[in-house]
Amino acid sequence: MPSPDQRLRRRIAAEGSISVADYMAEANAHYYGSRDPLGAAGDFITAPEISQMFGELVGVWIADLWSRAERPIDLHFVELGPGRGTLARDALRAMSRIGLAPPLELVETSPALREVQAANLPQARWHDRITDLDGDGPLIVVANEFFDALPIRQHDREGRELRVRFADGRYVREAAEMVIESSPAALEAMAEVAGHIARRGGGALIIDYGRPPGSVGDTLQAVSAHERADPWVAPGSRDLTALVDFGALGERATSCGVRVHGPTGQGDWLDAMGIGLRAAALARRHPDRTEEIASARDRLTAPGQMGRLFKVMALTAPGWPEPAGFMSAM
């Protein structure tokens, strides 16, 4: 089978150039489909892998929303791009403490990651696409670092789409004085999530690293072996991501008939959900891990680490209660 590099070169040779979105889609499809990229031996680490506290507080958030929605018996828990299944495992453990044990549905296309997820979450049911979710009961959807890996388009200030060519042995994107990004793929995914929630009831929790409101500029980046890398080298061998436009996602969700809450900083949200109390409880139970637990909490919440760059946004269906951790709805 041709490598992503070979496929991209052939397409560029045939068409002259391709969009940034097509380049990113081809590279990430191979990257995520061929490996487990997480952990010390991989390329990056996500919040659920830093500490169990993260997934547990997501579970507390879900359980609280479910409880105040009069505990519907047919609730389903859905995670988009669930990595190794660590978040879902920790969230389900926290939910079980108040008697919530919903069916688990995972939207995942990577055979490599599905294998890891199956070992951690044998009860799960898998789907290739958000549109494949079926049934009539309410959904709680969680997407942690899902939207940042969806393809982006880049334009210059005149609205001309920037193209990628192959020259002098490397991929080259056209230069522009100002780069303006958008992600039709992210907006489509948000519309699908919001449409399910508007029709079936429930809510969603979106967690990702986001761009400042109204900002422009090139945010496409690559990560390899926990270090920044050149996104135009070795496509398919490194993770390609871009900052998420939460404002655009919120507008699309609102247009689909759901309420939008936030975004707020990840640190503020975790503090509101009680990460301080959870860290103290863990430290009492595991005194030999006190320093490790404090370090994990700091990494998740400190403004200079993940606390400010990462944003948290929630959706709720009409008639559902206000979700915990947010001041007001849009």
Tens-place pLDDT, residues 209-261: 999 888 999 999 999 888 899 999 999 899 999 999 999 999 999 999 999 99
Query: Which one-letter amino acid corresponds to residue 55?
Result: G
Give the position of tokens 């799960």. Answer: 124
β-strand partners of 104? 77
Q: How far apart are CA 148 and CA 24, in angstroms?
A: 11
Cβ distance 153 to 181 under 8 Å? Answer: yes
What's the average model confidence in pLDDT over 283-307? 97
Tens-digit pLDDT profile for residues 32-83: 988 888 877 777 889 999 999 999 999 999 999 999 999 999 999 999 999 9
Residue 265: φ, ψ to 5°: -65, 145
* Confidence class for position 329, pLDDT limits 50, 70, 90: very low
Which tokens in the block code for residue 208?
A: 């990702």
* pLDDT, averaged across the chain: 95
Neighbours of 40 (CB within 10 A): 8
- Percentage of the chain modeled with pLDDT above 90: 88
In the sheet that 239-241 helps form, which strands lie side by side, from edge to edge? 227-229, 221-224, 239-241
Cβ distance 20 to 28 under 8 Å? Answer: no
Tens-digit pLDDT profile for residues 97-117: 999 999 999 999 999 999 999
The residue ranking higher by pLDDT, 192 or 327, is 192
Residue 288 is given by DSSP the state G
* Confidence class for position 291, pLDDT limits 50, 70, 90: very high
Class of domain 36-145+183-210+245-316: alpha beta
Q: How far apart are CA 298 and CA 160, in angstroms?
A: 42
Q: Could you tell me which of 226, 244, 239 has the C-alpha nearest to residue 32?
A: 239
Query: Which one-letter amino acid corresponds to residue 317?
Result: A
What confidence score (pLDDT) does residue 330 get? 39
Neighbours of 255 (CB within 10 A): 12
Q: Distance between terminal CA atoms of the chain?
A: 48
Spatial CB neighbours of 24, under 8 Å, sequence gap ≥ 6: 151, 152, 220, 240, 242
Output b/e per residue, 216-247; b: 16+ Cβ within 10 A.
Answer: eebbbbbbbeeeebebbebbbbbbbbbbbbbb
Q: How far apart are CA 161 and CA 141, in angstroms?
A: 33
Give the position of tokens 């009539």. Answer: 136
Which tokens in the block code for residue 257?
A: 């008939």
Helix (H), strand (E), coil (C) string for 48-116: HHHCHHHHHHHHHHHHHHHHHCCCCCCCEEEEECCCCCHHHHHHHHHHHCCCCCCCEEEECCCHHHHHH
Q: How far apart are CA 309 and CA 268, in angstroms?
A: 11
What confidence score (pLDDT) does residue 103 get? 97
